[in-house]
Structure 1
Amino acid sequence: MSIIAPEDHSGTWLGRVWNPVANGPAVVTLRDGQVVDITSRAAPTSRDICELDDPAAHVRAANGVALGTLEEVAAARVGDMSVVHFLAPCDLQSVKACGVTFARSMVERVIEEKAAGDPARALEIRERIGATIGASLRDIRAGSPEAAEVKRALIAEGLWSQYLEVGIGPDAEVFSKAQILSSMGTGADVGLHPVSRWNNPEPEVVLAVTSKGQIVGACLGNDVNLRDVEGRSALLLSKAKDNNASCAIGPMIRLFDADFGIDQVRQAELTLRVEGEDGFVLDGHSSMKEISRDPTELVSQTIGRHHQYPDGFLLFLGTLFAPTQDRDHPGEGFTHKVGDRVTISAPGFGSLENVVRLSTECDEWTFGTSHLMRNLASRGLL
């Protein structure tokens, strides 16, 4: 499967690849099926292009050099520094994420918390309270007076949760997902912390946002989640979310232009497929039409007078998907196994494909901000 469908080749795409000739990353776009290097002194990074007044116009007009066809670059082995291969499309931008933004997945987070990371206990709780909470929350607008009434009722029933607080309360959950330059691109391995025994992929739309809070594009992301770790304690959120290779973004940022914008984000329909080496197949879905807070509200809760991002940020918008399908034993639900192939796709956004490994078995993250700056300087780009 092509990572960008032929009918979407006319879109304005911004990505990054490893360029062995430069011994470093290159900023690229897609033209006539070719991956074209548009790195320049005027805009040497993905961040710099996103910060321009009109990123899409710059990408369309920029001079470039073809590095290979889309199929060739997508098929190249990630991590082989002798070949051109895709990287995550962001570089100096912070990587932030929103959680509990869909009513249906919110219920699963409550169950996860009540089960304290035990998938068998989760089944019993799901049957007892899941349907009731879901029916109560599906059409509630977060932060509204109606939401406050529901909160009072659930507290009286002993069902209130930190997840419901951020799901229907006035304040969204926004957390740091990954360190700058640590995210994985399409074709790369993604990592699970070896302490986890209950985990899953999270297919999400990811927004590219400038330092001024302007949304300039969107792509796909996998917010790899350790359900047992986060379920034990909210204070373990960082351990559950930010590990070696635990964040995937790609395949490329589709920049907003006359044919693609925030309305396409609001209407996005994401599909997920997990294919295990054991023959197991899981199909999932996330519809942005069911999100509980508008993407623009999530951006405004992330950036403002209260918090600045001088290099902009990428923002995961959360997911409707919460897997309950049993994999090995009845009542224990889904969890990853090493070797799982995860494909997240959506019309107009392309496909993001990764293979699951342990974080301790994925390539170590060694190319940080200082390495990028030295590389760009050696190429005369700074």
Structure 2
Amino acid sequence: MLPLSNPDPEALLVGRVWRPGIGPALVLLRGETLIDITSPEWPTLRDLLEQDDLPARLRGADGTPFATLGDVTGGADGAPRLLAPCDLQAVKASGVTFAESMVERVIEEQAAGDPDRADAIRKKVQAAIGDSLSGIAPGSDKAMEVKRVLQAEGLWSAYLEVGIGPDAEVFTKCQPMASVGWGAEVGLHPMSTWNNPEPEIVLAVNSRGEILGASLGNDVNLRDVEGRSALLLGKAKDNNASCAIGPFLRIFDAGYGMADVDRAELTLKVEGEDGFVLDGHSSMTKISRRPADIVAQTIGRHHQYPDGFMLFLGTLFAPIQDRGTPGQGFTHKLGDSVTISEPKLGSLRNIVRLSTECPPWEFGTAALMRNLAGRGLL
């Protein structure tokens, strides 16, 4: 496992660490040192994100140094381990936000989840669509004109509707407290034979709809399950350990903000125990919807989130590099190491297992409340 590192000594990086014998701690990273800042004022990361003038509060925060980045493991007994940098927040995800990956979603649907059919359908769809969807503003007059043309060609789908239509797709990725962090195992449902990682930026939004920071995420996806029917999205997306976020949450301040998110360049590396290596990339400059617009469609008078939410922004990455049978593209094998990196957010690294073999999720919201109460923090 590659060691953790601080991407920027000036960054305001907060997160959560499991401290053996204590439980989950809210932490601030200063240099290479982890400072426990858990307190009755902010016992959870949710409470921290509700604070006014958060950058100033964090820079002046007192706490207890208890470990360095080198002490943190992916789950070894007796050592601190990094948790996902969220707790009570809902975990939401927006899909089909990039034109190029949108085409792959159409292919999945046309193939009905069968990777053997994907290559032939990809050629047919690309012949009709090509790169013509790039740069089209969702919901615009031009987008509606493209919709009419594709409907006439028999190629319209639910994915194109949310990709270039007026309404964004926003779904629940997992329950609060169910995400895993850096170094943890990520899970594939045993029924899946065609799947992939999805490298994404994840925004942290508080109950007032304010975007306060960003992290990295792996929105693990089962292409065969979702391809059979878009109505199987929940089964394709929400399984034990199928959501990874981390390593830390970078809080917006004078040195980092939404402009940096809009320019973010994510890299992905999958390294298999069989020697297979896949390099991928996702550029936020090519997103079809502005992140702030997706947030506005998620929270408002129509829908409240009293504990805030984390929002995956989607990915440009759509793997078509063959791993085995020609024309079937990429799929995971157990033991794959997945590393998602961005220069200002660091690297999120996880190992792929079956969801049934990953540690079961047992520490939920009730357990957190009991733990914090027992520590005199509530």
Q: TM-score range by the shorter chain?
A: over 0.9
1:262 to 255, 258, 261: 258
Secondary structure of 2:235's counterpart equals helix
Secondary structure of 2:132's counterpart equals helix
Give the CA deviation at 1:131: 4.5
Q: Indicate the percent of aligned positions where both proteins have the same amino acid.
A: 67
Query: In 2, are the aligned partners of 1:230 and 1:236 still within 8 Å (CA)?
Result: yes
For 2:225 and 2:283, locate their aligned partners in 1 and report how far apart those are by CA, in whole Å.
Answer: 26
For 2:86 and 2:295, locate their aligned partners in 1 and report how far apart those are by CA, in whole Å.
Answer: 17
Give the CA deviation at 1:133: 1.5
| RMSD, aligned α-carbons | 1.0
For 2:26, the equivalent position in structure 1 comes to 27
Secondary structure of 1:152's counterpart equals helix
Query: In 2, are the aligned partners of 1:38 and 1:59 still within 8 Å (CA)?
Result: no
User: CA deviation digits over 1:126-179, x for unaligned, max 9?
Assistant: 111224313221121001011000000100010101000000000000000011
Worse-superposed segment, 52-61 or 142-151: 52-61
Which runs of structure 1 show a deviation greater than 3 angstroms over 4 or more consecutive aligned residues?
Answer: 1-6
Any unmatched runs of 5+ in structure 1?
Answer: none
For 1:130, the equivalent position in structure 2 comes to 126
Q: Is structure 2 residue 10 aligned with structure 1 residue 10?
A: yes
Query: In 1, are the aligned partners of 2:188 and 2:222 still within 8 Å (CA)?
Result: yes
User: CA deviation digits over 1:94-145, x for unaligned, max 9?
Assistant: 0000000000000000000000011120100111122431322112100101
Secondary structure of 2:214's counterpart equals strand
Worse-superposed segment, 135-144 or 309-318: 135-144
Q: Which amino acid aligns with 1:132?
A: A
Q: Which amino acid aligns with 1:164?
A: L
User: 1:53-132 alignment to 2 at 5 Å?
Assistant: 53-73=52-72, 76-78=73-75, 80=77, 82-132=78-128
Q: Scaled by the length of structure 2, what TM-score is found?
A: 0.98
Q: Is structure 2 residue 275 aligned with structure 1 residue 275?
A: no
Q: Is structure 2 residue 357 aligned with structure 1 residue 356?
A: no
Give the CA deviation at 1:313: 0.2
Q: Which amino acid aligns with 2:13?
A: W
Query: In 1, are the aligned partners of 2:269 and 2:280 still within 8 Å (CA)?
Result: yes
Query: In 2, are the aligned partners of 1:103 and 1:134 still within 8 Å (CA)?
Result: no
Worse-superposed segment, 152-161 or 50-59: 50-59
Query: In 1, are the aligned partners of 2:74 and 2:82 still within 8 Å (CA)?
Result: no
User: CA deviation digits over 1:330-352, x for unaligned, max 9?
Assistant: 11110000000000000101100
User: 1:1-382 alignment to 2 at 5 Å?
Assistant: 1-5=2-6, 8-22=8-22, 24-73=23-72, 76-78=73-75, 80=77, 82-382=78-378
Query: In 1, are the aligned partners of 2:100 and 2:131 still within 8 Å (CA)?
Result: no
Secondary structure of 2:208's counterpart equals coil
Query: In 2, are the aligned partners of 1:4 and 1:349 still within 8 Å (CA)?
Result: no
Give the CA deviation at 1:56: 2.1
Secondary structure of 1:135's counterpart equals coil
Give the CA deviation at 1:62: 1.3
Q: Which amino acid aligns with 2:103?
A: V
Give the CA deviation at 1:71: 2.1
Aligned positions, number:
377
Query: In 2, are the aligned partners of 1:36 and 1:66 still within 8 Å (CA)?
Result: yes
For 2:131 and 2:82, locate their aligned partners in 1 and report how far apart those are by CA, in whole Å.
Answer: 43
Worse-superposed segment, 279-288 or 12-21: 12-21
Q: Which amino acid aligns with 1:330?
A: P
Q: Which amino acid aligns with 1:47?
A: R
For 2:53 and 2:76, locate their aligned partners in 1 and report how far apart those are by CA, in whole Å.
Answer: 32
Give the CA deviation at 1:68: 1.2
Give the CA deviation at 1:2: 4.5
Secondary structure of 2:367's counterpart equals helix
For 1:170 and 1:224, locate their aligned partners in 2 and report how far apart those are by CA, in whole Å.
Answer: 26
For 2:57 and 2:44, locate their aligned partners in 1 and report how far apart those are by CA, in whole Å.
Answer: 13
Query: In 2, are the aligned partners of 1:67 and 1:84 still within 8 Å (CA)?
Result: no
Query: In 2, are the aligned partners of 1:49 and 1:58 still within 8 Å (CA)?
Result: no
Secondary structure of 2:131's counterpart equals helix
Give the CA deviation at 1:14: 0.9
For 2:85 and 2:32, locate their aligned partners in 1 and report how far apart those are by CA, in whole Å.
Answer: 18
Query: In 2, are the aligned partners of 1:276 and 1:340 still within 8 Å (CA)?
Result: yes
For 1:146 and 1:326, locate their aligned partners in 2 and report how far apart those are by CA, in whole Å.
Answer: 35
Secondary structure of 1:292's counterpart equals coil
User: CA deviation digits over 1:46-85, x for unaligned, max 9?
Assistant: 1111111122222221111112111221xx24163x3211
Q: Scaled by the length of structure 1, what TM-score is found?
A: 0.97
For 1:189 and 1:340, locate their aligned partners in 2 and report how far apart those are by CA, in whole Å.
Answer: 10
Secondary structure of 1:35's counterpart equals strand
Secondary structure of 2:130's counterpart equals helix
Secondary structure of 1:43's counterpart equals coil
User: CA deviation digits over 1:174-212, x for unaligned, max 9?
Assistant: 000011101000000000000000000000000000111
